Structures are given as C-alpha cells and as structure tokens.
Amino acid sequence: MITGMPLCAESLGQSLSKAHYDAMVRVGYQSHKADNDTDTEYALGVKLHFETAPFYGLQAGATLFTSQGNGEEGFEGIPFFDEKNEDYAILGEAYLKGRFSGTTLVAGRQSFDTPFADSDDIGMVPNTFEALTLLNTSLKDTTIFLSHLQKWAGVDSESPGTFSNVHGNEGMQIVGITYEGMSKTVVSGWFYYLKDAVKISYLEANYEEETDRFTYGGALQYAFQDYDNAEDSEIYGVAASFGLKKAGLTATIAYNKVHGSAADNFFGGGPFFTNAEHNTLREEGPDGETILYTIGWDASIIGAEGLNFTANIDAHTGEQNHAREYDIGMGYAYSDAVNFSAVYSDVENGDLSFQNFRMFVNYSF
C-alpha cells in the first residue's frame, strides 16, 4: 500500500501517536442459480488498517480482513469465505515502508495493482501479496515498478484465508514502467518472470479526450505469455469509447484475440479489455476471440448524485462461440462513508450456465 506522505514524526513514540487509522465494514450477499438449484450466501466483513507516521522516512502498517457468515462448502459463486467456504480472518497487510527522495520501498504483505497481479476486489477480501516492492518516480512523468512476489492470498487464490507460495520457493519477479508525459495518453510496459515456467510481456496504451459535449478514447494492448514447456499465447486487444455528457451516457466496445494456447489472468482478475464479471478471455480457451459491449449511465444528470448503472454483453466468438455473458450493475455513493453496489450476471460457457447476483454495502470510518 503506497499512499500520500503524512505528517512526519520527531520520535518513535510520536510516530505511533500520530498513526493513521481507518476501517470499513462490508455486508455482502450473493445468490447463485445453476441447474434449477439456487444457493445463497451472506457475509459480514471488517477491514481494519493502521499506518504509523513517518520516522526518518520509515513507516509500518498493517491491515486485518475478516469475513463471517453462512458459507456452505461447495458453493460455486464468487468466494466470500476460505477454500472450505468457512469464516476466516487474515492479516492481509503487514509491511515496513521507506520513502527516500523519489523512491518508495515496501517489504512484507501489501496491496498493489499490476496487469497480472492485482487486488481484484470482487468479493469480501481482496488479493494481497507478500513481496518486496520498489516504486520510483525520479524521472519526469515516469513510474518504475519492481517487485519480487513470494506469496499471495485473497479472493482469486486457491486458499483465500492463507498466504500460499507463488511458484514454489521461486516466486515471481515483476518489472513495470508507466509513462504519462504525452498529452492525454498513458503508456506502460510490464514483464513477469516465473523461473522455468513462463515469461509474460505486456504493453498497453490509453488515450482519453473530451470536449464540452463529448468524451472519447481508445486503448491498445498486447500480451505474450511464453511458456517453457507448452505452446505460447499471444494476445491482442483494442477498445474504443464515446460519451455524451448531457445525457450521462458512455458506450464502449472492446475486442480481444488470442493466438496459441489459452490466455491466463495469473494472479488476479486479469488486464484483458473483454474480461467480464465471470467469463474472461481465459475461459475462451486456445485461439479465443471475444467482444465486449458496455453502456453506462451516470444518473447525476437528473439530480441523482452518486448513482450509476452499467450493462455488458460479453460475446465469445472463437472456438466456444456459444459462450456469452450478460451483466447489469448499479452503484450508489450515498456519501463519502457509505456506498452500495450490485450486479446481476447471466452466464453460459460450454455446458456450464448459471445466474449470479452479488450485492455489497460498504461503510468506511
């Protein structure tokens, strides 16, 4: 977790007395219907975070996550609980952070978002990582990200309530560079290395512009997943968006194409433009091809501040051309402290079909 610089402390005791504390309570509900059977889950989660004030550039922080409710073993929806669908608590962050000029170094359990390792906060507890991470902003408009990732836990991992090894004792190494020095454009390049397993290269460029009446933008992505003992995977992606400010409407169309073996999201939700709530480019399999249509409406244009709606159609047009997903979602920010979100999904993928509804209420203080 890398945040803005708080007030500096003059002693170790003052560093503790000036520590920053925050918390969030999350109430979650989901129903999952498949083969005419409907299962439901309820969960109550708590996030407790603290971070000391900097003392000689050093800070310590920790975040506790919990999820308690009515989990049932074998539930097929988004994980709310651990691998046995039981309640759990986990110290998801526990780190020492040092800031020195334009460099920040974080050691320990932490949260960050990169293309193939990200928090993916779609359930009760997000992904977090045990890593040594360096972030440098010394070059103008440039951010350099270096990390050795050793373990992870959270919603996408096989054991959400326990930190488990990434690629055995070898871990994964990450290098990323993001440049924002071009007008309206952000470009980034990333490389991931898992020894004797896979090397991942990723490039992305995003352009956004607006006028008094319109917003518009475009994005390109390219990924190469180079497996040591299997067929490689090459992925292309393009996306375009257009918005009408006075109507509060934004429409987006995205396309991904895979050459070779199936694309993989690795340690998180994945970066692919056509990834939906449940079906992602990975589920399309080898030589996959997917189109995602999205329309969003910001209801603040009729005075409903903080209220928005989205609808997706995710059409898989490759080898599994019968795979598709419809999503309808809404979000409402009642205040800075309270917000609500819900999403309904109707999914088909091969012989698998289901309907899932998820709802969350968050209270931060």
pLDDT average, residue stretch 44-64: 95
Q: Is residue 36 a part of any domain in this protein?
A: no
pLDDT average, residue stretch 276-304: 94
Burial 138-148 (b: 16+ CB within 10 A, else e): eeeeebbbebb
pLDDT of residue 2: 47
Greater confidence, 321 or 196?
Answer: 196
Confidence check: pLDDT of 210 > 80: yes
Q: Is residue 100 a part of any domain in this protein?
A: no
In angstroms, the CA 353 to CA 34 distance is 6
pLDDT band at 320 (very low <50, low <70, confident <90, very high): low
pLDDT average, residue stretch 125-138: 98
Confidence check: pLDDT of 363 > 90: yes
Confidence check: pLDDT of 5 > 70: no
Task: For the chain, give the mean pLDDT.
Answer: 93
Contact 170, 194 (CB under 8 A): yes
pLDDT of residue 321: 58
Number of structural domains in the chain: 1
Q: Is residue 186 a part of any domain in this protein?
A: no
pLDDT band at 1 (very low <50, low <70, confident <90, very high): very low
Q: Is residue 264 a part of any domain in this protein?
A: yes
Confidence check: pLDDT of 248 > 50: yes
72-86, 127-141, 210-224: least confident range = 72-86
Q: Is residue 164 a part of any domain in this protein?
A: no
Q: Is residue 157 a part of any domain in this protein?
A: no
Going by C-alpha positions, the residue among 289, 309, 285 that lies closest to residue 297 is 309
pLDDT average, residue stretch 265-288: 94
pLDDT of residue 283: 87
pLDDT of residue 76: 87
pLDDT average, residue stretch 246-259: 97
Among 65-74, 76-85, 87-96, the range of highest mean pLDDT: 87-96
Greater confidence, 206 or 73?
Answer: 206
Q: Is residue 262 a part of any domain in this protein?
A: yes
User: What pTM, to 2 d.p., does this model score?
Assistant: 0.93
Q: Where are the beta strands (DSSP E) in 101-184?
A: 103-110, 128-136, 142-153, 164-165, 172-182
pLDDT average, residue stretch 241-250: 97
Three-state DSSP string of 280-319:
CHHHHCCCCEEEEEEEEEEHHHHCCCCEEEEEEEEEECCC
pLDDT band at 11 (very low <50, low <70, confident <90, very high): low
75-84, 101-110, 119-128: least confident range = 75-84
1-5, 62-66, 119-123, 165-169: least confident range = 1-5
pLDDT band at 181 (very low <50, low <70, confident <90, very high): very high
Amino acid at residue number 292: L
pLDDT average, residue stretch 263-283: 95
Confidence check: pLDDT of 297 > 80: yes
CATH number at residue 321: 2.40.160.10
pLDDT average, residue stretch 131-138: 98
For residue 167, how far is the Cα from the chain centroid? 21
Q: Is residue 163 a part of any domain in this protein?
A: no
Contact 325, 317 (CB under 8 A): no
Which residues form the domain of 365?
Answer: 231-365
pLDDT of residue 285: 87
pLDDT band at 109 (very low <50, low <70, confident <90, very high): very high
